[in-house]
């Protein structure tokens, strides 16, 4: 795809990057049918091909000429609205799931192109006051562990007095498990995150217990937001500030010889892996960001690498396999490219994984999406639960705190992080 950049973008770093991102795209449409919002809305503008075309038109400095649109495009939402407002609408509806990247035969980096489009349109199109206030409130509370925890605990304390609809959106308090304190020759660092310690504190503790069995001490690093929330809401400088702060917090651990930076939330892990690229124009943090990204590992990668021999090989196997539906989070399979890794680990642990159709489909959580695009989010969740429950599992496992919380609020069976299930299974076998 060729682009004639508007004068404001010509001969700029942004213009050159955008040209490089657009060039591989041949508008073939193979990405369209793996796009959750296109499948839900059946609107070309709510698929990656349509969004790419709209971003291209914006960078060329003109609204699209209807007569020049590809035949597959419709005008369902373009009619009666300004071009900028339409672009903002369709970019807002994107989940950033990156399923399109996995299905693209040309390797188009749609996620990065989307980031650029969102940042530019945010500057050009004023949002209604209500939207601005909501987005600002989310960015003022969610990334800060103490603020989010205080708000969540208040909601949980009042939960039984709230209307059913609101009560279902406030998760019940989950217990925190014990963190092993044995000394080991090897150590790794785990990033605590912003919302996970309050929503599901046992996840990281379970990871620490599993790695303790492999002779690895897991050290809890400073908590805080990875920057993804601000980044996907086009608050770019705010996101970069979070990234720099996190690098500073992790750097002493890297210098002390920590083997890896572990993430149990695949959404955060996918963003941490992009630090090197996102801060490549920062001379002070460029090299450090690259080193941080290189050391980032999902907990699944570490368990897969370390579980060379069964640490409980002499213990009896469970009497009957538990039926589990694994919801492979978009960030795990499309962002971190770890599709199939967790599934193998769960099967090795003795679980029976039931088949799940359309595994590439997003559950609708997508960070702030479940709040900002509630109707679409809930529709996607309903479709996802239908496929997860089709084979009647006894539980659902996932790899991301956002998916876990979103699904658990309406799921008829328990929803857990897969590392918790593995830890519980290993503990049960030890006790036999």
Query: What pLDDT score does 125 carry?
Result: 84
Nearest to 191 by CA among 135, 268, 91, 300: 268
For residue 164, pLDDT over 70 is answered with yes
Query: Rounded CA gap, 193 and 178, in Å?
Result: 18
In percent, the amount of the chain with pLDDT more than 70 equals 92
Query: What pLDDT score does 69 carry?
Result: 45
Query: Rounded CA gap, 278 and 243, in Å?
Result: 9
Contacts 24+ apart (CB under 8 A), 11-17: 13/281, 14/116, 15/59, 17/112, 17/116
Cα-Cα-Cα-Cα torsion 14, 20, 23, 25, nearest 10 degrees, comes to -90
The answer to whether 385 and 356 have CB atoms below 8 angstroms apart is no
- For residue 319, the SS3 value is coil
Query: What pLDDT score does 319 carry?
Result: 46
Does pTM top 0.85 for this prediction? yes
Query: Rounded CA gap, 115 and 187, in Å?
Result: 35
Q: In the sheet that 395-398 helps form, which strands lie side by side, from edge to edge?
A: 352-353, 323-327, 395-398, 415-417
- Burial letters 328-350, b for 16+ CB under 10 A, else e: bbbbbbbbbebeebbbebbeebb
Query: What pLDDT score does 168 carry?
Result: 82
Nearest to 303 by CA among 335, 260, 336: 260
Query: Rounded CA gap, 387 and 187, in Å?
Result: 39
Nearest to 202 by CA among 177, 225, 166, 224: 177
Please write the tens of the pLDDT for every residue from 87-97.
Answer: 899 999 999 99
Query: What pLDDT score does 314 carry?
Result: 44
**Per-residue pLDDT averaged across 301-312, rounded?**
82
Query: What pLDDT score does 62 carry?
Result: 63
Please write the tens of the pLDDT for every residue from 171-195.
Answer: 888 888 899 989 898 999 999 999 9
Helical segments of 350-394, H only: 369-372, 374-389
CA 309 to chain centre: 31
Weakest mean pLDDT among 55-64, 143-152, 203-212: 55-64
Contacts 24+ apart (CB under 8 A), 38-46: 39/361, 40/376, 40/379, 40/380, 40/383, 41/93, 41/376, 43/74, 43/76, 43/77, 44/72, 44/73, 44/74, 45/73, 45/74, 45/76, 45/77, 45/78, 45/86, 45/90, 46/90, 46/93, 46/94
In percent, the amount of the chain with pLDDT more than 90 equals 70
The answer to whether 251 and 189 have CB atoms below 8 angstroms apart is no
Distances (CA, A) of 99 to 30, 121, 333, 365, 402: 11, 23, 8, 14, 17
CA 412 to chain centre: 23
Query: What pLDDT score does 5 carry?
Result: 87
Mean per-residue pLDDT of the chain: 89
**Per-residue pLDDT averaged across 115-127, rounded?**
89
Please write the tens of the pLDDT for every residue from 358-374.
Answer: 999 999 999 999 999 99
For residue 320, pLDDT over 70 is answered with no
Residues 6+ apart with CB under 8 A from 408: 171, 414, 415
Nearest to 371 by CA among 217, 157, 142: 142
Joined tokens for residue 209: 């217990």
Residue 257 burial (CB count, 10 A): 8
Weakest mean pLDDT among 3-17, 63-77, 168-182: 63-77
Please write the tens of the pLDDT for every residue from 396-429.
Answer: 999 999 999 999 999 999 999 999 999 999 988 7
Please write the tens of the pLDDT for every residue from 225-254.
Answer: 999 999 999 999 999 999 999 999 999 999
Contacts 24+ apart (CB under 8 A), 278-283: 278/231, 278/239, 278/240, 278/243, 279/240, 279/243, 279/244, 281/13, 282/240, 282/244
Query: What pLDDT score does 85 carry?
Result: 76
- For residue 188, the SS3 value is strand
Bridge partners of 218? 188
**Per-residue pLDDT averaged across 154-181, rounded?**
88
For residue 310, pLDDT over 80 is answered with no
């Amino acid at each position: 795809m060729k682009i004639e950049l508007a004068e404001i973008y010509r001969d700029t770093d942004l213009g050159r990057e955008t040209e490089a991102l657009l060039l591989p795209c041949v508008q073939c449409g193979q990405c369209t049918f793996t796009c959750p919002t296109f499948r839900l809305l059946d609107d070309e503008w709510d698929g990656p091909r349509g969004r790419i075309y709209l971003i291209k038109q914006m960078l060329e400095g003109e609204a699209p000429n209807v007569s020049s649109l590809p035949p597959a495009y419709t005008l369902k939402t373009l009619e009666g609205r300004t071009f900028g407002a339409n672009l903002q609408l369709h970019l807002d509806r994107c989940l950033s799931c990156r399923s399109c990247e996995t299905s693209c035969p040309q390797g188009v980096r749609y996620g990065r192109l989307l980031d650029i489009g969102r940042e530019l349109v945010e500057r050009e199109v004023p949002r209604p006051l209500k939207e601005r206030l909501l987005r600002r409130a989310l960015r003022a509370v969610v990334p800060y562990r103490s603020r989010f925890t205080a708000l969540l605990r208040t909601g949980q304390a009042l939960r039984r007095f709230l209307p059913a609809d609101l009560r279902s959106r406030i998760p019940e308090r989950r217990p925190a498990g014990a963190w092993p304190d044995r000394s080991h020759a090897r150590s790794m660092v785990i990033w605590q995150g912003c919302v996970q310690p309050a929503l599901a504190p046992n996840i990281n503790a379970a990871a620490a217990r599993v790695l303790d069995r492999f002779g690895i001490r897991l050290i809890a690093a400073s908590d805080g937001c990875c920057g993804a929330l601000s980044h996907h809401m086009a608050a770019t400088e705010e996101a970069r500030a979070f990234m720099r702060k996190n690098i500073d917090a992790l750097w002493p651990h890297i210098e002390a010889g920590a083997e890896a930076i572990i993430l149990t939330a695949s959404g955060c892990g996918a963003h941490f892996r992009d630090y090197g690229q996102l801060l490549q124009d920062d001379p002070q943090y460029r090299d450090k960001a690259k080193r941080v990204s290189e050391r980032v590992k999902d907990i699944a990668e570490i368990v897969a690498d370390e579980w060379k021999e069964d640490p409980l090989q002499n213990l009896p196997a469970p009497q009957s396999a538990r039926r589990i539906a694994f919801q492979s989070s978009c960030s795990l399979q499309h962002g971190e490219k770890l599709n199939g890794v967790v599934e193998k680990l769960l099967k090795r642990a003795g679980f029976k994984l039931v088949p799940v159709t359309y595994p590439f489909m997003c559950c609708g959580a997508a960070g702030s999406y479940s709040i900002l695009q509630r109707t679409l989010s809930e529709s996607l969740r309903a479709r996802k639960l239908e496929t997860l429950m089709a084979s009647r599992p006894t539980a659902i496992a996932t790899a991301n705190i956002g998916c876990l919380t979103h699904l658990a609020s309406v799921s008829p069976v328990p929803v857990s992080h897969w590392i918790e299930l593995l830890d519980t299974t290993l503990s049960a076998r030890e006790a036999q």
